[in-house]
Structure 1
Amino acid sequence: MTLNRRRFIRHLVATTLGAAWPVLGASPVRFGVTAVMLDDRVGFLNDWAAWLGARLGRPVVFVQRARYREILDLLLGGQLDLAWICGYPYVQHQDALELIAVPSFQGQPLYRAYVIAAAEGGVQSFEELAGRLFAWADPDSNSGYLYPRSHLAGLGRDPDHFFRRTFFTWGHPRSVVAVAEGLADGAAVDGYVWETLARRDPALTGQTQIILRSPLFGFPPIVAARDLPAADRTRLREILIGQAGDAAGRALLAELNLDGFVTAEPALFTDIAAMARQLGRSG
C-alpha cells in the first residue's frame, strides 16, 4: 500500500470513530489471523481493528501467529473470540466452531488452489514436479496442502513419496517467493493470494506460472467458538456483512482485494471435508 493510500484509509476510519468507545473499559474482542492469510500487514490490521471496534463498541485486537494450528488452539482454548482460518481446520472442528462470515472474492465466496512452478523452469504440469523440491504453505491449509495431496492420491501417486523433498513456508506469499527465487521447483498456494500478489507485485508473480488450478472451494471463513455469546456473534456478523456499505469499510476491503463478506452454510465446505476423509484427515 502506498503511504498516500494508507493515510486516506486512516482518515476515512478516523472520521467514523467518534470521541470514545461507547462502552468504556469493555474487554477487547480478540481476532486471530495467520501469516497464511495476512503477512506483514500490521498497519492494515490496526486500521481494520479501529474500524471494527468503532462499530462494535468495544476494542478489537488482532492476534497474529505463524500457523493455523496456533490460531486454532487459541480459539478452541478460549483465548480468542473469532479467527480467520482455512476451510480445512473448519471442517475438522466444525462441531466446536460457528461460521460468522465468508469473504466474497470476484463475486462469490469461493476460491481455487493453484500449483505453481517457475516461469522459466521448463515445468509445465504438476506431474513434471515428480522427484523435485516442493513447498507447502501449512499442514492445515486446504489450498497449500490438502488439495494437492488429494489430487496426487486421485492420480494414484503417493503424496509422501512423489517429491524429492518438501518443506513448509508458513505463508502463501512466502511460497510464491520460494518458487520465484528458485528455492523450490513448485508450490501449492491459495489462488486468491496469488491473484492479489499479481496486482500488488506483478514482477514477483511474473516469475512463476500456474500449472494446475483446482475446482472451486469455499473461501477461508471467519469463525467463532461456540461459547462466544450469541449476541456478540450476531453483531460481529452484521458488522462484517455491512462493511461493503461503508466508505471506510470498502477502502479496507479493497486493500484485501475482496468484495465484502457474506453469510454461508457449512455445506459450502463439503468438498474440503470429502478430501479430508479421502486422506484420513477428518479429525
Structure 2
Amino acid sequence: MEPVRASSEPLRFGLTPVVPDDRITFLAGWADWIETQCGRPVEFVQRSRYREILDLLLQGRIDLAWICGYPYIRNRSHLGLIAVPRFQGRPLYQSYFIVGADSEIERLHDLEGRLFAWADPDSNSGYLYPRFRLSSDGRDPDRFFRRTFFAWGHPRCVEAVAEGLADGAAVDSYVWETLALSHPTLITQTRVLERSPEFGFPPIVAGPSLSERERQLIRRVLLSQVQDPAGRSLLNELNLDSFGLEAPDLYDDIARMAGRLTEGSGA
C-alpha cells in the first residue's frame, strides 16, 4: 500500500475513554499495525474529556480521532467521516441506564431524587440521550436527580455505580458489553435498567489537518483491517467486528435529539 507521505512525522490519532486506560499494550500493538499498513508512525493521544480531543482535532494538533456521534454532528462541517466501527454486526450502539446489581430500583423514574453519574457533557449515550429521555417524559433533567456529577468516561460511570458512589448512570452499550468480557467482576455489580433505541456508533473522523489523500489512505487501512490476520486479532481485542463506510446521515437521529432539547430549553 502506498505510504501517506515520505515523512517521519507521526499520524496523531486521538482517543476518548472509549478504550479503557489499562490498554496501553494493546494501543502500542494497534499503532504498530497501522504504521506497517500506511508507512507512517502512529501516535495515539488519549484524553479523559471529549472536549479536549475535539479541541485538539479542530486546532489541527491531532489528525484524526475516535469520537462520539454527538460532537460529530455539531462539528461535521469541519470534520470528515473516515470509518464507523461495526459492533455485533452493525454500526450501531445504545445507551444503557444502569444501577447497582442489588439496587431496589426497578424503573427509570425510581431514580428520581437519587445520585446520578453523567459520562461527559459531549457524550450522546452518557448525557444527551438520557436528558432527552427524561425531557420526553416531561421531566426536567436538571431537577430530576438529587445530585449529579461527571465521571469523565463510561468505564468510570460503571465503576461509580458498582462501588455505590452513584445510584445510577447512563453508559455506552459497547463499553458496558466490552467490560463484561474484560472485567466481568465489575459488571456483575451492575445491571441494565433500560436500553435506548439504537444510534450510529461513535465514528472515526478526520480533522482539518488531514489531506484528502491521507484521509483516503487511512480509510482503506481501517476498512481492510478485518482481512488481515493481525488486524483481525486487534479487532477482536477491541470487541469489534470491523470498520465500515457509512453515510453521515447515520447520525441524524442524534442531531434531531440535540435540536429538540435546544428548542425545549428555549436556547
TM-score band, normalised by the shorter chain?
over 0.9
Shift of 1:128: 0.4
Please show how residues 179-258 of structure 1 align to structure 2 within 5 Å: 179-258=161-240
Is 1:138 aligned to residue 120 of structure 2?
Answer: yes
Q: Is residue 14–residue 64 contact of structure 2 (8 Å, CA) maintained in 1?
A: yes
Shift of 1:22: 9.8
Q: Is residue 116–residue 210 contact of structure 1 (8 Å, CA) maintained in 2?
A: yes
Q: Distance in 2 between matches of 1:207 and 1:38?
A: 18
Q: Is residue 4–residue 214 contact of structure 2 (8 Å, CA) maintained in 1?
A: no
Poorly superposed stretches of 4+, deviation over 2 Å: 21-26, 36-40
Normalising to structure 1: TM-score of the pair? Answer: 0.90
> Counterpart of 2:145?
163
Normalising to structure 2: TM-score of the pair? Answer: 0.95
Q: Distance in 2 between matches of 1:25 and 1:77?
A: 21
Give the alignment partner of residue 87 of structure 2, picking from 105, 119, 125: 105
Shift of 1:25: 4.5
> Counterpart of 1:80?
62
Please show how residues 25-104 of structure 1 align to structure 2 within 5 Å: 25-104=7-86
Amino acid at match of 1:103: P
> Counterpart of 1:264?
246
> C-alpha offsets along residues 135-178 of structure 1, whole Å, 9 cap, x if unaligned?
01100000000000000000000000000000111111111111
Q: Distance in 1 between matches of 2:124 and 2:5?
A: 39
Q: Distance in 2 between matches of 1:90 and 1:154?
A: 23
Amino acid at match of 1:204: L
Secondary structure at 2:82's aligned position in 1? strand
Q: Distance in 2 between matches of 1:170 and 1:279?
A: 22
> C-alpha offsets along residues 65-97 of structure 1, whole Å, 9 cap, x if unaligned?
111100000000010110000000000001000
Give the alignment partner of residue 278 of structure 1, picking from 233, 236, 260: 260
Shift of 1:257: 0.2
Secondary structure at 2:262's aligned position in 1? coil
> C-alpha offsets along residues 217-251 of structure 1, whole Å, 9 cap, x if unaligned?
00000000244211100000000000000011011
Q: Is residue 4–residue 217 contact of structure 2 (8 Å, CA) maintained in 1?
A: no
Q: Is residue 138–residue 168 contact of structure 1 (8 Å, CA) maintained in 2?
A: yes
Shift of 1:39: 2.7
Q: Distance in 2 between matches of 1:36 and 1:102?
A: 14
Q: Is residue 125–residue 171 contact of structure 2 (8 Å, CA) maintained in 1?
A: yes
Q: Is residue 104–residue 110 contact of structure 1 (8 Å, CA) maintained in 2?
A: yes
> Counterpart of 1:6?
none
**How many pairs does the alignment contain?**
262
Q: Distance in 2 between matches of 1:255 and 1:227?
A: 29
Secondary structure at 2:77's aligned position in 1? helix
Q: Distance in 1 between matches of 2:143 and 2:229?
A: 50
Q: Which runs of 5+ in 2 are unaligned?
A: none
Q: Distance in 1 between matches of 2:136 and 2:7?
A: 54
Q: Which runs of 5+ in 1 are unaligned?
A: 1-20
Q: Distance in 2 between matches of 1:135 and 1:108?
A: 28
